Protein backbone atom coordinates (compact mmCIF):
# COMPACT_ATOMS: atom_id res chain seq x y z
CA UNK A 1 0.00 0.00 0.00
CA UNK A 2 2.85 2.39 0.88
CA UNK A 3 4.46 1.66 -2.49
CA UNK A 4 1.20 2.44 -4.28
CA UNK A 5 0.79 5.75 -2.41
CA UNK A 6 4.44 6.65 -3.13
CA UNK A 7 4.01 5.81 -6.81
CA UNK A 8 0.81 7.89 -6.98
CA UNK A 9 2.53 10.86 -5.34
CA UNK A 10 5.49 10.57 -7.78
CA UNK A 11 3.18 10.51 -10.80
CA UNK A 12 1.23 13.49 -9.42
CA UNK A 13 4.47 15.46 -8.90
CA UNK A 14 5.62 14.69 -12.46
CA UNK A 15 2.28 15.76 -13.91
CA UNK A 16 2.28 18.93 -11.83
CA UNK A 17 5.76 19.86 -13.03
CA UNK A 18 4.73 19.20 -16.64
CA UNK A 19 1.70 21.46 -16.22
CA UNK A 20 3.91 24.21 -14.81
CA UNK A 21 6.22 23.86 -17.81
CA UNK A 22 3.30 23.91 -20.26
CA UNK A 23 1.80 27.02 -18.63
CA UNK A 24 5.01 29.06 -18.88
CA UNK A 25 4.23 32.59 -20.00
CA UNK A 26 5.38 33.46 -23.53
CA UNK A 27 8.31 35.84 -23.79
CA UNK A 28 7.31 39.38 -24.70
CA UNK A 29 8.34 41.31 -27.78
CA UNK A 30 10.09 44.55 -26.85
CA UNK A 31 11.23 47.62 -28.76
CA UNK A 32 14.20 49.76 -27.76
CA UNK A 33 15.98 52.77 -29.30
CA UNK A 34 19.76 52.91 -28.86
CA UNK A 35 21.42 56.32 -29.08
CA UNK A 36 24.53 55.36 -31.06
CA UNK A 37 25.27 58.81 -32.42
CA UNK A 38 28.84 58.92 -31.09
CA UNK A 39 31.31 57.85 -33.79
CA UNK A 40 34.18 57.13 -31.37
CA UNK A 41 32.49 55.51 -28.35
CA UNK A 42 30.47 52.32 -28.06
CA UNK A 43 27.02 52.11 -26.46
CA UNK A 44 26.42 48.78 -24.66
CA UNK A 45 23.06 47.00 -24.53
CA UNK A 46 21.97 44.17 -22.21
CA UNK A 47 19.05 41.92 -23.14
CA UNK A 48 18.58 40.82 -19.53
CA UNK A 49 18.27 44.45 -18.39
CA UNK A 50 16.38 45.59 -21.52
CA UNK A 51 18.50 48.73 -21.48
CA UNK A 52 21.82 50.30 -22.30
CA UNK A 53 24.44 50.00 -19.57
CA UNK A 54 27.83 51.45 -18.64
CA UNK A 55 30.69 48.99 -19.01
CA UNK A 56 34.14 49.83 -17.63
CA UNK A 57 35.99 46.85 -19.15
CA UNK A 58 34.00 45.56 -22.16
CA UNK A 59 36.36 42.73 -23.09
CA UNK A 60 36.23 41.19 -19.60
CA UNK A 61 32.56 41.84 -18.86
CA UNK A 62 29.61 39.50 -19.48
CA UNK A 63 27.12 42.25 -18.59
CA UNK A 64 26.61 43.42 -22.19
CA UNK A 65 25.31 41.57 -25.26
CA UNK A 66 25.37 44.09 -28.13
CA UNK A 67 27.46 47.22 -28.63
CA UNK A 68 26.59 50.04 -31.05
CA UNK A 69 28.74 52.73 -32.66
CA UNK A 70 26.72 54.51 -35.33
CA UNK A 71 25.67 51.65 -37.68
CA UNK A 72 28.44 49.28 -36.50
CA UNK A 73 27.44 46.48 -34.10
CA UNK A 74 29.41 44.11 -31.89
CA UNK A 75 28.44 41.00 -29.96
CA UNK A 76 30.14 39.95 -26.74
CA UNK A 77 32.29 37.20 -28.24
CA UNK A 78 35.20 36.53 -30.56
CA UNK A 79 37.61 39.45 -30.68
CA UNK A 80 35.14 41.85 -29.00
CA UNK A 81 34.64 40.13 -25.66
CA UNK A 82 35.13 37.04 -23.58
CA UNK A 83 31.43 36.10 -23.60
CA UNK A 84 29.61 33.55 -25.75
CA UNK A 85 28.24 36.23 -28.08
CA UNK A 86 27.72 35.66 -31.80
CA UNK A 87 25.04 36.22 -34.42
CA UNK A 88 23.29 34.46 -37.31
CA UNK A 89 20.99 35.65 -40.08
CA UNK A 90 17.70 33.75 -40.32
CA UNK A 91 16.95 35.39 -43.71
CA UNK A 92 13.33 35.72 -42.61
CA UNK A 93 12.05 39.27 -43.13
CA UNK A 94 9.83 41.83 -41.48
CA UNK A 95 7.02 41.28 -39.00
CA UNK A 96 5.96 38.03 -40.69
CA UNK A 97 9.51 36.69 -40.37
CA UNK A 98 9.81 37.89 -36.78
CA UNK A 99 6.59 36.06 -35.86
CA UNK A 100 7.57 32.93 -37.84
CA UNK A 101 10.91 32.49 -36.06
CA UNK A 102 9.67 30.65 -32.97
CA UNK A 103 12.73 28.46 -32.32
CA UNK A 104 16.45 28.78 -33.05
CA UNK A 105 17.04 26.46 -36.04
CA UNK A 106 19.91 23.98 -35.73
CA UNK A 107 20.91 24.92 -39.30
CA UNK A 108 21.91 28.50 -38.42
CA UNK A 109 25.59 29.40 -38.63
CA UNK A 110 26.64 31.65 -35.75
CA UNK A 111 29.56 34.01 -36.36
CA UNK A 112 31.72 35.68 -33.73
CA UNK A 113 33.15 39.20 -33.96
CA UNK A 114 36.19 39.79 -36.11
CA UNK A 115 38.09 42.55 -37.88
CA UNK A 116 36.64 43.51 -41.25
CA UNK A 117 37.48 46.14 -43.83
CA UNK A 118 34.80 48.84 -44.11
CA UNK A 119 34.58 51.55 -46.76
CA UNK A 120 34.91 55.07 -45.37
CA UNK A 121 35.29 58.48 -47.01
CA UNK A 122 39.09 58.17 -47.05
CA UNK A 123 39.08 54.65 -48.51
CA UNK A 124 38.91 51.63 -46.21
CA UNK A 125 39.41 51.14 -42.48
CA UNK A 126 39.55 48.04 -40.31
CA UNK A 127 36.80 47.77 -37.70
CA UNK A 128 36.12 45.13 -35.09
CA UNK A 129 32.43 44.21 -35.51
CA UNK A 130 30.17 41.24 -35.99
CA UNK A 131 30.39 40.41 -39.73
CA UNK A 132 26.83 39.03 -39.86
CA UNK A 133 25.34 42.10 -38.16
CA UNK A 134 27.27 44.45 -40.42
CA UNK A 135 24.76 43.44 -43.10
CA UNK A 136 21.71 44.68 -41.18
CA UNK A 137 21.47 47.67 -43.54
CA UNK A 138 22.33 49.00 -46.97
CA UNK A 139 23.35 52.52 -47.96
CA UNK A 140 21.13 54.15 -50.55
CA UNK A 141 21.54 57.49 -52.25
CA UNK A 142 18.61 59.90 -52.00
CA UNK A 143 18.02 63.58 -52.73
CA UNK A 144 18.86 64.45 -49.10
CA UNK A 145 22.09 62.40 -49.19
CA UNK A 146 23.09 58.87 -48.25
CA UNK A 147 20.44 57.03 -46.25
CA UNK A 148 20.81 53.87 -44.18
CA UNK A 149 18.02 51.44 -45.01
CA UNK A 150 17.46 48.33 -42.85
CA UNK A 151 17.58 44.97 -44.62
CA UNK A 152 14.48 43.85 -42.68
CA UNK A 153 16.21 40.51 -41.95
CA UNK A 154 15.55 38.85 -38.60
CA UNK A 155 18.76 37.92 -36.78
CA UNK A 156 19.41 35.53 -33.91
CA UNK A 157 21.89 36.78 -31.34
CA UNK A 158 23.63 34.53 -28.84
CA UNK A 159 24.16 36.57 -25.68
CA UNK A 160 27.28 36.83 -23.55
CA UNK A 161 25.90 34.12 -21.27
CA UNK A 162 24.80 31.82 -24.12
CA UNK A 163 21.07 32.64 -24.16
CA UNK A 164 19.25 33.56 -27.37
CA UNK A 165 17.35 36.56 -28.71
CA UNK A 166 15.77 37.24 -32.07
CA UNK A 167 16.40 40.79 -33.26
CA UNK A 168 14.89 42.97 -35.98
CA UNK A 169 16.80 46.20 -36.71
CA UNK A 170 13.98 48.52 -37.71
CA UNK A 171 15.45 51.96 -38.29
CA UNK A 172 18.57 54.10 -38.00
CA UNK A 173 16.72 57.38 -37.51
CA UNK A 174 14.92 58.98 -34.59
CA UNK A 175 11.37 60.29 -34.80
CA UNK A 176 12.99 63.68 -35.56
CA UNK A 177 14.91 62.01 -38.45
CA UNK A 178 18.30 62.27 -36.72
CA UNK A 179 20.78 59.55 -37.67
CA UNK A 180 22.48 57.19 -35.23
CA UNK A 181 19.34 56.10 -33.38
CA UNK A 182 19.03 52.35 -33.94
CA UNK A 183 15.63 50.94 -33.04
CA UNK A 184 15.42 47.20 -32.45
CA UNK A 185 12.50 44.89 -31.88
CA UNK A 186 13.47 41.72 -30.05
CA UNK A 187 12.41 38.72 -28.02
CA UNK A 188 14.92 37.50 -25.46
CA UNK A 189 14.80 33.99 -24.02
CA UNK A 190 16.52 34.00 -20.60
CA UNK A 191 16.07 30.30 -19.76
CA UNK A 192 18.88 28.98 -22.01
CA UNK A 193 16.49 27.21 -24.39
CA UNK A 194 16.12 27.81 -28.13
CA UNK A 195 12.45 28.65 -27.75
CA UNK A 196 11.71 32.17 -29.04
CA UNK A 197 7.96 32.26 -28.39
- Residue 35 domain-assigned (yes or no): yes
Q: Quick check: pTM over 0.75? A: yes
| Domain, as residue range, for 64 | 29-189
How many domains in the chain? 1
CA distance 37 to 51: 16
- Residue 120 domain-assigned (yes or no): yes
Tens of pLDDT, residues 67-101: 999 999 999 999 999 999 999 999 999 999 999 99
Under the phi-then-psi rule, with left for phi > 0, alpha for psi from -120 to 50, and beta for the rest, what region is 21?
alpha
- Residue 48 domain-assigned (yes or no): yes
- Residue 9 domain-assigned (yes or no): no
Tens of pLDDT, residues 125-138: 888 999 999 999 99
- Residue 5 domain-assigned (yes or no): no
Amino acid sequence: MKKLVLLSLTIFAVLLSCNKEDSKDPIQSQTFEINSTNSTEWKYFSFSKSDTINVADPFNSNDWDLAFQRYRIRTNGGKSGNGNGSAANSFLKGQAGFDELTIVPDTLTFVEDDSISIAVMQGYSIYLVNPVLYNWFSMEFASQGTQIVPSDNIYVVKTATGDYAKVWFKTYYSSENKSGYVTIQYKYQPDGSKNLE
